[in-house]
């Protein structure tokens, strides 16, 4: 046998054995992200996200048109093992489901809002609060960075109806923002991002133009490009530690 030179371990060159993971963004939720069928052949949100992400990044679409908060745990079951960042946009279809209780639909008023309809607001808020918290908890379970989105106000031709729809959606957005604050999550405010008629393919779905603006906000958030983000800070007290038993 040939001679062998034993080299002390301490003298061996150091090798970084940490896996060089390629950043992998996953979009969860509903047709805000799964909007390909509404763009008339134009690019979808996930296509535009992929196009805007830096070299070396990947993006996957798990969002499914028509999904509500109850569908998010199922989407999380399909989460790729290589995922590093998550963005969630859900709640609009919850609002659609509850609209009739307020005497409205997304095609106009079904009847005049009544005190009974207004009394339902608290019940709707409570129900969505519970459902949205469950959806966020499912997204946080893997321990990955998570961003969430508000529900945009839509683009309705009737200005009077637009005001009522925006007011109703504020109930849902209040829940989203409160949960985000409690969890310390960044929020993409789709209400300010999709604010022009050109941003919409129809009253409730994003066009390619709106999708590009959404994609730019997502990419700015996950890549930390502060110069491409505009926003504010909301300050609250940290959670009070539980008293020992």
Q: What is the pLDDT of residue 83?
A: 97
For the segment 109-138, what is each residue's pLDDT rounded down to a tens digit?
555 555 555 567 888 999 999 999 999 999
Report how many domains make up the chain. 1
Classify strands 58-61 and 24-29 as parallel, antiparallel or unpaired.
parallel
Pair 29, 63: CB distance under 8 Å: yes
Domain residues for the domain of 215 are 21-228
Pair 150, 189: CB distance under 8 Å: yes
Question: Do the domain assignments include residue 98?
Answer: yes
Pair 69, 135: CB distance under 8 Å: yes
- Average pLDDT along the chain: 86
For residue 28, the domain's CATH number is: 3.40.50.1110
Question: Do the domain assignments include residue 2?
Answer: no
* Residue 33, φ and ψ in degrees, nearest 5: -100, -35
One-character DSSP codes across the chain? --------GGGSPP---S--PPPEEEEEESTTTS-GGGTTTSPPHHHHHHHHSPTT-EEEE---TT--GGGHHHHHHT--TT--EEEEE--HHHHHHHGGGGTEEBTEESS---HHHHHHHHHHHHHHHHHHHHHHHHHHTT---EEEEPPP----S-HHHHHHHHHHHHHHHHHHHHHHHHHT--EE-HHHHS-SGGGEEETTEE-HHHHHHHHHHHHHHHHT-GGG--------PPPPPPPP-
For the segment 14-46, what is each residue's pLDDT rounded down to a tens digit?
433 333 479 999 999 999 999 999 999 999 999
pLDDT band at 7 (very low <50, low <70, confident <90, very high): very low
Instruction: Tell me the pTM.
Output: 0.83
Question: Do the domain assignments include residue 245?
Answer: no
Question: Do the domain assignments include residue 237?
Answer: no
Question: Do the domain assignments include residue 3?
Answer: no
Question: Do the domain assignments include residue 243?
Answer: no
Q: Give how far the C-alpha of residue 40 lies from the chain's centroid of Cα atoms, to the nearest Å.
A: 23
For the segment 59-104, what is each residue's pLDDT rounded down to a tens digit?
999 999 999 999 999 999 999 999 999 999 999 999 998 877 766 6
Count CA atoms within 13 Å of residue 224 on its CB side: 3
Q: What is the pLDDT of residue 118?
A: 59
CA distance 114 to 193: 32
Question: Do the domain assignments include residue 242?
Answer: no
Question: Do the domain assignments include residue 4?
Answer: no
């Amino acid at each position: 046998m040939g001679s062998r030179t034993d080299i002390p371990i301490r003298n061996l060159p150091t090798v970084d054995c940490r896996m060089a993971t390629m950043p992998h963004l996953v979009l969860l939720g509903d047709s805000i992200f799964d909007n390909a069928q509404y763009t008339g052949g134009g690019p979808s949100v996930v296509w535009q996200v992929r196009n805007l992400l830096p070299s070396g990044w990947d993006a996957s679409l798990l969002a499914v048109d028509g999904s509500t908060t109850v569908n998010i745990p199922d989407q999380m079951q399909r989460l790729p093992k290589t995922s590093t960042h998550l963005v969630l946009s859900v709640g609009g279809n919850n609002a659609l489901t509850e609209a009739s209780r307020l005497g409205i639909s997304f095609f106009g008023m079904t009847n005049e809002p009544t005190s009974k309809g207004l009394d339902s607001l608290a019940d709707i808020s409570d129900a969505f609060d519970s459902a949205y918290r469950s959806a966020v908890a499912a997204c946080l379970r893997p321990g990955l960075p998570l961003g969430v989105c508000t529900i945009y106000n839509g683009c309705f031709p009737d200005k009077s109806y637009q005001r009522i729809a925006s007011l109703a959606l504020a109930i849902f957005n209040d829940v989203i923002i409160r949960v985000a604050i409690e969890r310390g999550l960044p929020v993409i405010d789709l209400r300010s991002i999709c604010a022009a008629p050109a941003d919409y393919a129809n009253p409730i779905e994003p066009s390619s133009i709106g999708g590009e603006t959404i994609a730019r906000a997502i990419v700015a958030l996950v890549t930390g490009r502060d110069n491409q983000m505009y926003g504010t800070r909301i300050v609250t007290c940290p959670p009070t530690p539980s008293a020992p038993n």
